[in-house]
Structure 1
Amino acid sequence: MPISADANMEIDRETHLVRNISASSTHGLHAPADEDEDAEHKKLMDRRMHAQATQGNVDSFIKILGSISSEKDLQHSEILCQVSPRKNTCLHIAASFGHHDLAKYIVRECPDLIKNKNFKGDTALHIAARKRNLSFVKIVMDSCPSGSGASQDVEKAEPPLLGIVNKEGNTVLHEALINRCKQEEVVEILIKADPQVAYYPNKEGKSPLYLAAESHYFHVVEAIGNSEVEERMKNRDRKAVHGAIMGKNKEMLEKILAMKLVHQKDKDGRTPLHFAASIGYLEGVQMLLDQSNLDPYQTDSDGFCPIHVASMRGNVDIVKKLLQVSSDSIELLSKRGENILHVAAKYGKDNVVNFVLKEDRLENFINEKDNGGNTPLHLATMHRHPKVVSTLTWDKRVDVNLVNDRGQTALDIVLSVKHPTTFHQALIWTALKSAGARPAGNSKFPPSRRCKQYSESPNTDKYKDRLNTLLLVSTLVATVTFAAGFTMPGGYNSSDPNVGMATLLMRNMFHMFVICNTTAMCTSILAAIILIWAQVGDLNLMDTALRFALPFLGLALSAMSLGFMAGVYLVISNLHWLAIVVFIIGIISLVSLLVPFFLLFLPCKSTNRILRHISYYPFLILVWASKSPEMKRED
């Protein structure tokens, strides 16, 4: 049977350790004085046994076994119970390499060995199941006597054998299903041998029934459903329906629902309807709602109903469906007194926020307060969701100056942040200011703290670093454009009457090159002078210098780009297609340069509606650009 690279590496490491330990004993080294250490040393597998177990030759294995038995005066069973440094027995090693005949012999010689665990808590059956070698599992179990010791029938095998779990809480059946083993006959035999195991949850709370439902293993689910199990065992499996929902398969969900597990809650109090609403499985939600005895108002441990969970995850279609089926869902509140708009704003789900704002029947939600007196705008501000804040502030029905129980408006929340400022907070502050938000006069926070973020002087060293970077850029632009002014494209005339004049002086593109180059040099020098003034150390002057220098530097970079395009176009204009390509690339590059540069000045905090409209899409671009990769994946 082919051996995986991982298995080879693991066995090689063990063989190396066994050889070192065994070699020390065979070369006459003294045994440790401590009796416990000596006993532990005797439990270690001889390197020759380890090597034969990896090779799988039964005759050679028996020969080595007899030889070691004679040398050390040990019974065969005692030798077979010896372990490698990772607590693997010969049976574990045979399972790793798929040596079926050797496994049969070892189990016949020492039946109890099949229950031994290695340092990961795995029996040999766990290892075989993980390697999708369930035929090995069947062979080993067929070779193992039943609890009474009288039968070799796998269906009467000792039940505790299949109930043994490793450190992950997985049984053999768990391992088979986790590793997508498709040997249907053997999986069904495992279920028939001990049906209760199908309902054992592992450390993740997933039973074999859950795994089979998630992976669309219809034959496994059917075998589990046909087995007779006590009701108390079924009650242990609280997430089987969740597995069917996770698999998003209608037929599988119907099968699981027929097993009457739909009312089970998981450890967090979530029902299958909570779970379907969470992952956005609309068809599953509909099937669950069709259950006549299903309660769509059950809450989880956080006090969330399924409609709150759908809002939290941004599954607007689920929200619509739940409102359609039970219109009184709009009145449901969480433990904190939050409606669905509160939840959507808190978790930054702007699609649900937009849906609620467009629904006339949900208009009362817009300025509703939770148990802490917070409106959806307060919550969106607290949890730093600038897009939701912007969406809310564009709605005229939203009162941006309402205060919560702590006497704070949404703007107060931004200003009360102890440490300045993330970019998201700056965007939120801009959105609120442009909507006319004001700080509350009766805030319970002292003015010195509320305004700390924007009144405290920034760190001088950080400002100087920014100034020096911009000064370096402006100096480089000035240097390049100055040099370009004396190396004109096309060169100079060397004969009368135009000695020293540019040869391409009368060309339109040459005029554009000269104008752009001159503009770039002058504005970059002007920006450099402003930034040099800022070096005197006054923080107010630094801030003013930055605001004035940036536009000049932007103009310089744009003009330099245009000048380069004009110069190259000029000298290759005889090759028409290449000149056109250069012109197109230049225009695209210029636009690409201007867009991020102008985003430095937009959006603005003015309440003027025209300026707000101009700033709207730049604001959305900045929100998108400032998201972390984790946030984008979640969305």
Structure 2
Amino acid sequence: MDSLNEEEIWSQRQRINNALAASRNAGRQDPAELYAAALSLIWSISSIDVEELISDMEGVANQIDLSAIFNFLEPLDDSLLHAAAYYDKDSILRLLLYYVPDRLLAAGTRREGYTPLIAAILNKSSRTATMLIRRIIALPVEDKNQILRMTDKVGNNALHTAVRGRLVNVVGHLLNEDMELVYQQNADKKSPLYLTLESEEPEIREVLFSLPLEPLRIQGLPPIHGAIIHKRYAYMNRPQVFELLRPKTLYLARQWDINGEEPIHIASKMGYVDIIEKLSHKTRGRSKKRQTILHIAAKYGRTSVVRYLLRRPGLGDLNEGDNDGITALHLAAMHSQPATLIRLVLDERIDPLLLNHQLSTALDIALALVKREYTLRKRACGHEHVHSLNQKPNTDDVKNLIGNRSVVATLVATVTFAAGFAVPGGFNSPDRASKDDHGMATMLDKRMFQAFTICNTIAMFCSMISVVTLLWAQQSDIHTAIVAYRRSMLPLKIALPAMSAAFLTGITLTVGKLPWLANTIFYFGLVCLLIISVAKLDTHIFLITGFS
């Protein structure tokens, strides 16, 4: 970065003045030559210093009007001033600011909309940005404010850009000249205050939040909401968030966002119990829809928050409804949050029979969701074409479904039949057992073997029932086939977990001499068996509920 004393600056200006005087005496120049010369100077600024730039200008002064070059704005709205600001050429910028017209200070590039000031800040050039600010504040107040408040194509003004770039000095200069900058929102509806809470620069946070702010003028998203939403900042550095909630900035904890929610509602939505505890005495606790933090926690299934709120004395009416008469219990049922629903139902202060404005209890809402989910499940599984008798089902599709299920049922029957005559441990041979024990299973007295036999028998006969039922489905009447297809579902759903249980008990029995291996296999298999059972019986439960 160049640094010049007053004598050098005066000498440089004298050379430019002489070049300007010589260029005024030049003949009429070709516009194409002017364009080429100006563009060449703009592109060269990144790699030359101020002395080289002056020499280049002196070299073209006899052919080109230098004042036109200072006023030059190429088709993409780039100028000498933009180039010097962006490439952090402070000595060149100081020279240009003495000669360029005021309109170039307000010129934004066509692609991004960067003014020279925003370009300097983007390049984190505090010195060049300060030079530009000093030149801008020398303008009439109206022109000064207009240039400082100009934004790029995504709505960021100079203060937005300085906060993102963590340029503390530039932030201070801008705020000293125009406080309106702190309230403006960008295209993401974020004000510099909001961006400050995303920044990791504590000095900038201190500068902005020590200002005498007017909360009603803050545009876009409320700042504290942003601090809580961004887990990286609000959750990992919570103390820094609450340093901002001094008496002068207490209003930040009571601001509604675009959804009509306070910061404490956001904390409830995210499940941050400790933030709720700190904010609880600083907020109204009601959203624009009259929803409490208990409403929000129930809606989003934040069990830890619900547990905390139910234990907290003086919480208020737990059965309070919002503008639609919806209570926290209604919301837990409406959004299928079983964990929070159980917590609320078990609390004796909660009234499960309260009606909302649609005259529905939480139970009514839950039943309606069950029926709707059952319908969606049928459609997702491709069963809607076998459910309605009003339309003639597709025969080929029904036959494919019946065929697939027949294959599964037959395989289960075959495997379990074979397992019945190939039991773990085998059978007693005549030379090793008494006459009464000939042909009996060697492990007959072991309970695990008995469990294997029971499970295998259940799987065998249930799968056979399913096979026989599906044989009935091979009728020419499509509706009879559909009825048979449905009735084959439950036996097969019992057979599959039973077969898995038979395998589990059989394999555990055969490795019983190694307790660690037997226990590992058994408990792992037990978990898998539970998953299989739930998965297979789930649809049947919904089927029964739907028809009821």
**TM category, shorter:** 0.5 to 0.7
Q: CA deviation at 1:367?
A: 0.5
Are residue 141 (structure 1) and residue 80 (structure 2) matched?
no
Are residue 212 (structure 1) and residue 151 (structure 2) matched?
no
Are residue 466 (structure 1) and residue 454 (structure 2) matched?
no
Mapping 1:415-454, distance limit 5 Å? 421-423=375-377
What does the per-residue CA deviation read over 1:330-371, in whole Å, with 9 as the maximum and x for residues that have no partner? 363211122232233323344443333233233xx2101111
Q: Distance in 2 between matches of 1:528 and 1:330?
A: 54
Q: Distance in 2 between matches of 1:219 and 1:107?
A: 30
The match for 1:534 among 473, 480, 488 is: 473
SS at match of 1:601: helix
Amino acid at match of 1:376: A
Amino acid at match of 2:342: N
The answer (yes or no) to whether the contact 2:490–2:540 under 8 Å persists in 1 is no
Q: Distance in 2 between matches of 1:53 and 1:73?
A: 19
The answer (yes or no) to whether the contact 2:466–2:489 under 8 Å persists in 1 is no
Mapping 1:477-556, distance limit 5 Å? 531=470, 533-536=472-475, 537=478, 538=480, 539-549=482-492, 551=494
Mapping 1:264-279, distance limit 5 Å? 264-279=255-270
- Match of 1:192? 176
- Match of 1:407? none
Are residue 601 (structure 1) and residue 529 (structure 2) matched?
no
Are residue 240 (structure 1) and residue 228 (structure 2) matched?
no
What does the per-residue CA deviation read over 1:527-580, in whole Å, with 9 as the maximum and x for residues that have no partner? 6676455343431122233444555566667778999x79xx99xx9xx99x99
SS at match of 1:330: coil
Residues 51 and 375 (structure 1 numbering): CA distance in 2 closer, same or farther, change over 3 Å? same
Are residue 592 (structure 1) and residue 535 (structure 2) matched?
no
Residues 520 and 244 (structure 1 numbering): CA distance in 2 closer, same or farther, change over 3 Å? closer
The answer (yes or no) to whether the contact 2:470–2:488 under 8 Å persists in 1 is yes
Residues 561 and 242 (structure 1 numbering): CA distance in 2 closer, same or farther, change over 3 Å? closer
Amino acid at match of 2:223: A
The answer (yes or no) to whether the contact 1:368–1:375 under 8 Å persists in 2 is yes
The answer (yes or no) to whether the contact 2:456–2:498 under 8 Å persists in 1 is no
Bigger drift between 206-215 and 597-606 goes to 597-606
The match for 2:363 among 347, 354, 377 is: 377
Are residue 116 (structure 1) and residue 114 (structure 2) matched?
no
Amino acid at match of 1:199: Y
Q: CA deviation at 1:278?
A: 4.0
- Match of 2:248? 259
TM-score by length of 2: 0.63
- Match of 1:344? 332
- Match of 1:25? none
- Match of 1:76? 69
- Match of 1:169? 155
The match for 1:366 among 334, 344, 352 is: 352
Q: CA deviation at 1:144?
A: 5.4
What does the per-residue CA deviation read over 1:376-399, in whole Å, with 9 as the maximum and x for residues that have no partner? 1223344x3x6xxxxxxxxxxxxx
What does the per-residue CA deviation read over 1:20-75, in whole Å, with 9 as the maximum and x for residues that have no partner? xxxxxxxxxxxxxxxxxxx9xx9999875675356566666667778888888782
Amino acid at match of 1:467: I
- Match of 1:18? none
Q: Distance in 2 between matches of 1:245 and 1:326?
A: 25
Residues 326 and 530 (structure 1 numbering): CA distance in 2 closer, same or farther, change over 3 Å? closer
Residues 44 and 424 (structure 1 numbering): CA distance in 2 closer, same or farther, change over 3 Å? farther
- Match of 2:435? none
Q: Distance in 1 between matches of 2:36 and 2:257?
A: 44
Q: Distance in 2 between matches of 1:145 and 1:187?
A: 14
Residues 143 and 169 (structure 1 numbering): CA distance in 2 closer, same or farther, change over 3 Å? closer
Residues 475 and 285 (structure 1 numbering): CA distance in 2 closer, same or farther, change over 3 Å? closer
- Match of 1:356? 344
Are residue 312 (structure 1) and residue 306 (structure 2) matched?
no
Residues 423 and 517 (structure 1 numbering): CA distance in 2 closer, same or farther, change over 3 Å? closer
Q: Distance in 2 between matches of 1:277 and 1:100?
A: 50
Amino acid at match of 2:205: V
What does the per-residue CA deviation read over 1:403-455, in whole Å, with 9 as the maximum and x for residues that have no partner? xxxxxxxxxxx2xx5x96124999xxxxxxxxxxxxxxxxxxxxxxxxx9787
What does the per-residue CA deviation read over 1:137-196, in whole Å, with 9 as the maximum and x for residues that have no partner? 441331455346489xxxxx944433222343322222343x4x4443443333334333
Q: Distance in 1 between matches of 2:221 and 2:503?
A: 67
Q: CA deviation at 1:76?
A: 0.9
Are residue 221 (structure 1) and residue 175 (structure 2) matched?
no
Bigger drift between 474-483 and 308-317 goes to 474-483
Amino acid at match of 1:312: K
Are residue 290 (structure 1) and residue 281 (structure 2) matched?
yes
| Equivalent residues, number | 472
The answer (yes or no) to whether the contact 1:184–1:219 under 8 Å persists in 2 is yes
- Match of 1:434? none
Bigger drift between 518-527 and 315-324 goes to 518-527
Q: CA deviation at 1:261?
A: 4.9
Bigger drift between 277-286 and 470-479 goes to 470-479
What does the per-residue CA deviation read over 1:290-310, in whole Å, with 9 as the maximum and x for residues that have no partner? 35xx644x540x343444334
Residues 218 and 145 (structure 1 numbering): CA distance in 2 closer, same or farther, change over 3 Å? closer
Residues 547 and 457 (structure 1 numbering): CA distance in 2 closer, same or farther, change over 3 Å? farther
TM-score by length of 1: 0.56
Amino acid at match of 2:536: L
Q: Distance in 1 between matches of 2:523 and 2:56?
A: 81
Amino acid at match of 1:422: L
SS at match of 1:348: coil
Q: Distance in 2 between matches of 1:519 and 1:232?
A: 71
**Structure with higher RCO (Cα < 8 A, 6+ apart):** 2
Q: CA deviation at 1:373?
A: 0.5
Q: CA deviation at 1:258?
A: 2.4
Q: Distance in 2 between matches of 1:473 and 1:202?
A: 60
The answer (yes or no) to whether the contact 1:201–1:237 under 8 Å persists in 2 is yes
SS at match of 2:318: helix
Residues 237 and 47 (structure 1 numbering): CA distance in 2 closer, same or farther, change over 3 Å? closer
Amino acid at match of 2:130: M
SS at match of 1:206: coil
Q: Distance in 2 between matches of 1:317 and 1:479?
A: 50
Residues 220 and 534 (structure 1 numbering): CA distance in 2 closer, same or farther, change over 3 Å? same
% identical equivalent positions? 22
The answer (yes or no) to whether the contact 1:120–1:167 under 8 Å persists in 2 is yes
The answer (yes or no) to whether the contact 2:130–2:173 under 8 Å persists in 1 is no
Q: Distance in 2 between matches of 1:329 and 1:240?
A: 30
